[in-house]
């Protein structure tokens, strides 16, 4: 678990309140970076997998045509189907990795702050393998990468100013209003303030 001192160090690095950082963790993962099994908490995102396969030169339409059973882990539009339980996410990831391992790893949101694997460069690590390795080490590593991601993605001002709409748009995407992500962040922040 992350100590109060480590949260304080992170808040100082970003320039925001500790409660703002805790709010993001609370909304993203319920505050837990790992499953009871010891695996990092992940959320596999099929619409991101669709895009990542295309980036790697793999036609997702052909993959689905050849393997219709992949329709739960591969589709083009967010919200097409429910993600399912957290307990099933590693199973989905492993199935996707059989199609393309890097695309699959980049298409999952990882750890306490649910950072997409495709954002590994902004997390201050050398490569995707370094990101995955760090995620498996500790929640402190999750926080280290969160700090770098927030600063490198220029979302620090939004956290500093408690601009939950701006932060939600940058961190969770333009469809954040559908899930009331900004409202959830504000509520969580008030809980930790």
Q: Tell me: the pLDDT tens digits for 143-191?
A: 999 999 999 999 999 999 999 999 999 999 998 999 999 999 999 999 9
pLDDT at 82: 76
Domain boundary, last residue among 66, 91, 110: 110
CB of 88 within 8 A of CB of 102?
no
Asked if 140 contacts 10 with a C-beta cutoff of 8 angstroms, the reply is no
Whether residues 95 and 130 share a domain: the answer is no
- Please state, in angstroms and rounded to a whole number, the distance separating the CA atoms of residues 176 and 121: 23
Grade residue 27 by pLDDT with cuts at 50, 70 and 90.
very high
| Final residue in a domain of this structure, among 59, 86, 110 | 110
Interior CA angle at 40 toward 39 and 41, to 5°? 115
Residue 51's pLDDT is: 98
Q: Are residues 28 and 123 in the same domain?
A: yes
Burial of 73 (0-12, 13-18, 19+ CB in 10 A): buried
Task: Count the domains in the chain.
Answer: 2
One domain for residues 46 and 88: yes
Together in a domain, 17 and 49: no
* Predicted pLDDT of residue 1: 86
**Under a CB-based contact definition with an 8 Å cutoff, are residues 182 and 167 in contact?**
yes
pLDDT digits (tens, 9 = 90+) for 39-73: 999 999 999 999 999 999 999 999 999 999 999 99
User: Would you state the pLDDT for residue 83?
Assistant: 84
* Widest Cα–Cα separation across the chain: 52
Residues for the chain: how many in total?
A: 193
| Two tokens, residue 43 | 């959320």
- Global pTM reads 0.94
92 and 126 both lie in a single domain: no
Last residue of a domain, one of 81, 110, 139: 110
- d(CA 13, CA 76) in angstroms, rounded, equals 37
Give the structural domain span for 53.
Answer: 42-110
**Using only C-alpha atoms, what is the Rg of the chain?**
17
3-state secondary structure of 13: helix
Render pLDDT for 126-150 as a digit per residue (tens, 0 to 9).
999 999 999 999 999 999 999 999 9
Same domain, 125 and 106: no
Class of residue 51 by CB neighbours under 10 A (exposed 0-12, middle 13-18, buried 19+): middle
Residues 47 and 77 in one domain: yes
The answer on pLDDT for 107 being more than 90 is yes
Residues 29 and 46 in one domain: no
Statement to judge: residues 46 and 10 lie in one domain: no
Domain identity same for 52 and 98: yes
Q: For residue 79, is pLDDT > 80?
A: no
């Amino acid at each position: 678990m992350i100590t109060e001192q480590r949260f304080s160090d992170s808040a100082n690095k970003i320039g925001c309140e500790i409660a703002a950082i805790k709010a993001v963790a609370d909304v993203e993962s319920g505050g837990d970076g790992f499953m009871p099994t010891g695996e990092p908490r992940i959320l596999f995102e099929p619409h991101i997998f669709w895009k990542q396969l295309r980036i790697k030169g793999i036609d997702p339409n052909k993959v689905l045509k050849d393997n219709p059973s992949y329709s739960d882990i591969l589709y083009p539009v967010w919200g097409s189907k429910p993600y399912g339980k957290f307990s099933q996410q590693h199973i989905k990831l492993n199935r996707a990795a059989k199609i393309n391992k890097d695309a699959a790893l980049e298409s999952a949101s990882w750890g306490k702050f649910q950072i997409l694997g495709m954002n590994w460069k902004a997390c201050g690590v050398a490569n995707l393998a370094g990101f995955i390795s760090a995620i498996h080490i500790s929640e402190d590593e999750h926080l280290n990468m969160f700090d770098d991601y927030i600063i490198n993605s220029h979302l620090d001002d939004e956290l500093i100013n408690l601009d939950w709409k701006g932060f939600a748009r940058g961190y969770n995407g333009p469809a954040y209003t559908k899930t009331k992500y900004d409202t959830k962040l504000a509520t969580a922040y008030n809980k930790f303030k």
